[in-house]
Amino acid sequence: MERLNSFFYRLKRSPLTLVGMVIILFVVLTALFAPFIAPYDPFQIDPPNRLKPPSLEHWFGTDTAGRDMLSRVVFGTRISIRIGATVVFLTVISGSLIGLFSGYFGGIFDAVVMRITDIFFSVPYLILAMAITAALGPGLPNAMLPLILVWWPIYARLIRGQVLQIREAPYIEAARGLGASRCRIIFRHILPNAATPIIVQASLDFGNAIMYAAALSFIGLGAQPPAPEWGAMISLARNYLQDSWWFATFPGLAILVTVLGFNLLGDGIRDMTDPRLREI
């Protein structure tokens, strides 16, 4: 109870974190209730109403096929949340497991893992993801897989550093002396105490996954039309920026607000959990 009260106290002193939480809650609720929020079918074409500006009938205007942009942005929230959740979950699981075993056992396995992570860190994430996606072919699943492949080293390095500090702690030595198995020590004693940086990084990467997936869709390597994905919508709208400003503006704002929400939350969690950063 004391820790919970301390958490809420620090949360009240961090208004930007509250803003991030409100934004994320709004985005998640929009994704969950998209069929009830969207006024039209996001795939329904209406050629006579193509490229109509925002109005009471179409709040966000229409696209080149006459489809309602508000409905497509709302349903695009579902795609973006699914992308972020899938990429972050699989990246955290794979990277954390590799980092746990690498840091705990050390030796040749640790050296090999660290050299592999060095190779991944030597190439910019987006460029490497673009190369892998281009080799696999366009499509949303093929856009998510490269993000998982290029991000797992971040978590492997992060949790390895935590494990190196924790594995020689007195309570770990006590667990060994009591005959605890290696798996029990790793998952029962080390992992819970090394999880905080992972949570912070995951909250930041959730927004980054959405942004990078939108970038891959923008260049034609991610979601393909007519999927209501924000990056794909902006890609289609880039040829109509001068005459139909709303076409690219609203999907772009959706990306901006969503990524901002996750970044604010990630920064807030970092400040609240790191005694060197939070206010006394």
Would you list the domain boundaries of the chain? 12-30+67-273
Helix segments in the chain, DSSP class H: 2-12, 15-32, 34-37, 69-105, 107-121, 125-136, 140-166, 170-177, 182-184, 191-218, 230-237, 245-273
The C-alpha atoms of residue 169 and residue 179 are separated, in whole angstroms, by: 16
Say what the pTM is: 0.86
Mean pLDDT on 128-135: 86
Question: What is the rounded distance in angstroms from the CA atom of residue 36 to the CA atom of residue 34?
Answer: 5
pLDDT tens, residue by residue, 132-149: 888 888 888 888 888 898
> In the structure, what pLDDT confidence band is assigned to residue 280 with cuts at 50, 70 and 90?
very low
Asked if residue 83 has pLDDT above 70, the reply is: yes
On the question of pLDDT at 33 being above 90, the answer is yes
What average pLDDT is seen over the chain? 85
CA-based angle 79:134:138, to the nearest 5? Answer: 40
Candidate CATH numbers 3.30.43.10, 3.30.70.890, 3.40.50.300, 1.10.3720.10; the one for domain 12-30+67-273: 1.10.3720.10
| Other Cβ atoms closer than 10 A to 229 | 28
Short-list 97, 85, 89, 83, CA closest to 129 = 83
User: 10 Å Cβ neighbour count for 257?
Assistant: 12
Separation of alpha carbons 84 and 264, rounded Å: 16
Give mean pLDDT, residues 258-278. Answer: 76
DSSP string, 37-77: H-SS-TT---GGGTTPPS-SSSTT-B-TT--BHHHHHHHHH
Of 14-18, 208-212, 221-225, give the lowest mean pLDDT range.
14-18
CB contact at 8 A, 221 and 134: yes
| b (16+ CB within 10 A) / e for 6-26 | eeeebeeebeebeebbebbee
Q: What percent of the chain has pLDDT over 70?
A: 92
Query: What residues contact 258, with CB distance under 8 A and at least 6 apart?
Result: 23, 27, 77, 80, 207, 210
- 151-206 per-position pLDDT tens digit: 899 999 999 888 888 877 787 778 777 777 778 877 888 888 888 888 888 888 89
Q: Which amino acid is at 104?
A: Y
